[in-house]
Amino acid sequence: MRRIGSLFTICFIMFGNNPAHAIGPDIHDLAGTVQAQVDGKTINFPTLKVDVTAYIQGDVANVEIVQTFANPLEEPLNAKYLFPMNKSAAVYAMTMEVGDEIVEAQIKRKEEAKKTFEKAKSEGKAAALLTQHRPNMFTQNLANLMPGLPIKITLKYTQAIPKVDGDYELVVPLIVGPRYEPLGNGEAPDVVDNGEVFGKQQSTSTSPFGQWELEEMPEYPETAGVDIPKSIEKERVSIKVILESDISIKNAYSDTHAIDVDHVGSDRTKSVITLAKGRTIDNRDFVLRYGLSGALTEAGFIAEKEARGGFFSLMLEPPAAPKAAQVTPREMVFVLDTSGSMSGYPMDASKTFMRHAIKTLRPDDYFRIIRFSHNATEFTSAPVLATEENKRNGLSFVQGLYASGGTEIPGAIDQAFAMPPAPSTMRIVVFLTDGYIGNESRVLTQINEKIGNARIYAFGVGSGVNRYLLDEMGRTGRGFARYIDPTEEPEEVAMMLAKKLESPVLTDINIDWGNMQVSDVTPDVIPDLFAGDSIRIQGRFTGTGTHTINVEGKVRGREGTLPLQVTLPKASNDNNERTPISMMWARSRIADHMRDIKRPGGKRVSGLSEDALKEKVVDLGLDYSLLTKWTSFISVSKKVYNKNPEAAADKNIPLPMVKGVTQAAYPASFNGGSVPEPGTLGGMAILGACAYAARRRKKKRFAHA
């Protein structure tokens, strides 16, 4: 997309008084703006407003996101918006409202959806195309966004809410951070016939699987404070959570945002949570935590029947662990991200964490410290015993680190596993990073190849961390992921998290289903359980009645069994609609298949080829109307809104900078110093002050400053 020319054109467009543009509500009630000063006048660039409503029943959330896009200019636009959703979200519905039309979206194979979108775009119809790039990264494409005629998109998803450190944790991501991409990452190979190149291979729902297609990245949009002015409206997002439970809600709080909590009724079984200031800017993730006064009914077991059959969900929590007579010595391998995106608060928070983590090492522990950016180097050439002198030297090494360069995680993983563990120890690899990379698939495949018997604990440092990558690193490494928000007070959080560097409570988990008939159980590999956490097991069932199942595992090395009695329903729901349980099951199966793709062939749980796994993902997406890597939602209006569609300019919705990061996280600064490509140099004298409003960028290949 040629971006600098089109954005420069906008710099000279002033808002008109054409009555035709007065359709609908006041534009300032609909869209935040990015502002630039040109010839002493303020020019507004449209963005959007987002309203999030989450309905929580116990530990299951149904979330509705309303995105309202508006165009206050005098010319039609085709808009693109890069945004996040929860990595576990089962996105099952989308509607588009434009004028007097309400259009339900259809789920289609991604290439079919794109073809439908392009056709509608060329015909002047309004259209919306929702595409998934990662489980937590999406683009909303809009065709023919007309002046004064907003387009409203409503997305719906359901998700289970995990228990983390004793409380339930709802994460509503609000910002996609920048991604560093190694050279050549995500690039499709050439199509070659008889030595002649015929373009690039295409990723479709039916094409042979290629690892590159998992690494494909969308173009990162203009960023306020980097390559456009800073003035994105600070109240683009509203959040409302309606929390209900069969048992009393103990507390509801957020460390990321100021909230108001209204408890409904004296029994405290319903709470309404809103932002204290009404709205907020989308520059950090929203995290809500809450506790319940007792255990969920039937040990967290839920079963429902629908037209497709029976589905169940079982949530496991670890038992109280006996005190071990002996604690296995550990080899702690600390791997610190020192790339440019960690500059500022994130780097300071990492050092704070390391200060507490090193101080809490036991005398018979060993430790290593690896720092990485464009390369990886190590504190020592071998593991050292955690003597007081070695700990002091380690802290001095950490204190001298600074942020710069790219984020080459693969080299750090190689370094972490390059040597065998210290004798008679359990190896625990601790990553501290914001995860701002584009090659997640390669990293997870590499961990699968090298992990051995080690554990990985992933600590995300930042206010808009790549949670998909960090969570998957923890799960692949049979450990966990935790997050430090460096814009808050990190000292207490770092101290608490450093104390979690211990063994899991429940390992080697297996479910003996007895005479209960189950199939397609997910996750296909049950991870270890840590104190205060939970794991959700889902699957399909046939039959009815009451059954006894046994949860088997090792409690810090000792064999243990927990018997549970569960009851299966006799009849399906009356309306035969999809249930949240079935959609969460399908979403979890999709995640299983995507994880299996990243495992080396000999380690795949399914034993299937990559092409067969891809086909299973597509089938689940189409059968359950779910967004996936290879299925997309498409809405098209019946009416023609733009009589001259070829004149519509392509624009991105600008994003704010992630709170707490510096401009080093992005490819260049908004300082007038970046040089355009040669084709744009001739117009610089005419464009003048507008050069500050935009800059042409290729697909992001970050080399952090």
Whether residue 370 sits in one domain with residue 478: yes
Q: Tens of pLDDT along 432-469?
A: 999 999 999 999 999 999 999 899 999 999 999 999 99
405: left (phi over 0), alpha (psi -120 to 50) or beta: left
Query: What does DSSP say about strands 101-104 and 90-98: parallel, antiparallel, or unpaired?
Result: antiparallel
Q: What percent of the chain is modeled with pLDDT above 90?
A: 64
CA distance 359 to 50: 44
Per-residue pLDDT band for 352 (boundaries 50, 70, 90) equals very high
Of the three residues 498, 527, 543, the one that is the final residue of a domain is 498
**Amino acid 11: pLDDT:** 33
Contact in structure between 630 and 206 (CB atoms under 8 Å): no
CA distance 9 to 2: 12
Whether the pLDDT of residue 294 is over 50: the answer is yes
**Amino acid 292: pLDDT:** 85
CA distance 463 to 461: 7
Whether residue 548 sits in one domain with residue 582: yes
Taking residues 646-675, report their average pLDDT: 73
Whether the pLDDT of residue 92 is over 80: the answer is yes
Token pair for 562: 């927990």
- Classify residue 117: in a domain, yes or no: yes
Whether the pLDDT of residue 689 is over 60: the answer is no
CA distance 52 to 337: 32
Taking residues 86-91, report their average pLDDT: 97
49-58, 177-186, 353-362, 676-685, range with the lowest pLDDT: 676-685
Token pair for 693: 């409003």
* Helix, strand, coil shares, percent, the chain, to 5: 25, 35, 40
DSSP H helices in 147-289:
211-215
CATH number at residue 593: 2.60.40
Contact in structure between 56 and 121 (CB atoms under 8 Å): no
Whether residue 618 sits in one domain with residue 592: yes
Taking residues 215-226, report their average pLDDT: 89
**Residue among 622, 620, 624, 617 at smallest CA distance from 598:** 617
Return the top range by mean pLDDT from 552-566, 596-610, 661-675: 596-610
DSSP SS3 for 5: helix
Whether residue 591 sits in one domain with residue 479: no
Sign for the CA dihedral angle at 370, 376, 378, 381 comes to positive
Whether the pLDDT of residue 596 is over 90: the answer is yes
**Domain region containing 540:** 297-322+505-628
Tell the burial category of 602 from Cβ atoms under 10 Å away from its Cβ (0-12, 13-18, 19+): exposed
CA distance 16 to 109: 41
What are the phi and psi torsion angles at 313 (to 5°)? Answer: -140, 130
- Classify residue 314: in a domain, yes or no: yes
- Classify residue 292: in a domain, yes or no: no
Q: Tens of pLDDT along 604-660?
A: 999 999 999 999 999 999 999 999 999 999 999 999 999 999 999 888 898 999 999
Whether residue 544 sits in one domain with residue 524: yes
**Amino acid 639: pLDDT:** 98
Whether the pLDDT of residue 112 is over 70: the answer is yes
CA distance 174 to 239: 11
Token pair for 363: 């005398």
**Amino acid 325: pLDDT:** 46
Query: What does DSSP say about strands 384-385 and 60-69: parallel, antiparallel, or unpaired?
Result: unpaired
Total domains in the fold of the chain: 3
Per-residue pLDDT band for 677 (boundaries 50, 70, 90) equals very low
Taking residues 61-90, report their average pLDDT: 93
Whether residue 91 sits in one domain with residue 116: yes
Whether the pLDDT of residue 223 is over 90: the answer is no
- Classify residue 191: in a domain, yes or no: no
pTM tops 0.85, yes or no: yes
**Amino acid 364: pLDDT:** 92
Per-residue pLDDT band for 54 (boundaries 50, 70, 90) equals very high
**Amino acid 697: pLDDT:** 37
Whether residue 385 sits in one domain with residue 270: no
Whether residue 363 sits in one domain with residue 438: yes
Per-residue pLDDT band for 197 (boundaries 50, 70, 90) equals confident
**Amino acid 695: pLDDT:** 34
**Amino acid 162: pLDDT:** 92
Taking residues 206-217, report their average pLDDT: 93
**Which residues, 6+ apart, have CB-to-CB distance to 310 below 8 Å?**
303, 304, 540, 541, 542, 543, 568, 569
What are the phi and psi torsion angles at 272 (to 5°)? Answer: -115, 120
CA distance 435 to 482: 13
Whether residue 118 sits in one domain with residue 41: yes
- Classify residue 202: in a domain, yes or no: no
- Length of the chain counted residue by residue: 705
Whether residue 522 sits in one domain with residue 606: yes
CA distance 315 to 319: 13
- Classify residue 190: in a domain, yes or no: no
Token pair for 5: 């020319």
Q: Tens of pLDDT along 151-182?
A: 999 999 999 999 999 899 999 999 999 999 88
**Amino acid 480: pLDDT:** 92
- Classify residue 197: in a domain, yes or no: no
Q: Tens of pLDDT along 487-544?
A: 887 788 888 888 888 777 888 899 999 999 999 999 998 998 888 899 999 999 999 9
**Amino acid 194: pLDDT:** 78
Q: Tens of pLDDT along 545-578?
A: 999 999 998 887 788 888 999 999 987 766 667 7
- Beta-bridged to residue 564, according to DSSP, are 549
CATH number at residue 483: 3.40.50.410
Whether residue 151 sits in one domain with residue 93: yes
Q: Tens of pLDDT along 120-155?
A: 999 999 999 999 999 999 999 999 999 989 999 999
Amino acid at 579: T
Of the three residues 628, 643, 677, the one that is the final residue of a domain is 628
Note the maximum CA span of the chain.
80
CA distance 546 to 541: 13
40-49, 260-269, 423-432, range with the lowest pLDDT: 40-49
Q: Tens of pLDDT along 25-51?
A: 444 444 345 555 445 555 455 568 999
Half-sphere exposure of 666 toward its Cβ, with a 13 Å CA cutoff?
Answer: 27
CA angle at residue 509 from 503 to 511, to 5 degrees? 160
Taking residues 92-98, report their average pLDDT: 98
Taking residues 100-106, report their average pLDDT: 98
Whether residue 154 sits in one domain with residue 32: yes
Angle between helices 345-359 and 490-498 (to 10 degrees): 40
Query: What does DSSP say about strands 270-275 and 259-264: parallel, antiparallel, or unpaired?
Result: antiparallel
Whether the pLDDT of residue 418 is over 80: the answer is yes
Of the three residues 628, 658, 677, the one that is the final residue of a domain is 628
Q: What is the mean pLDDT of the chain?
A: 85
- Classify residue 567: in a domain, yes or no: yes
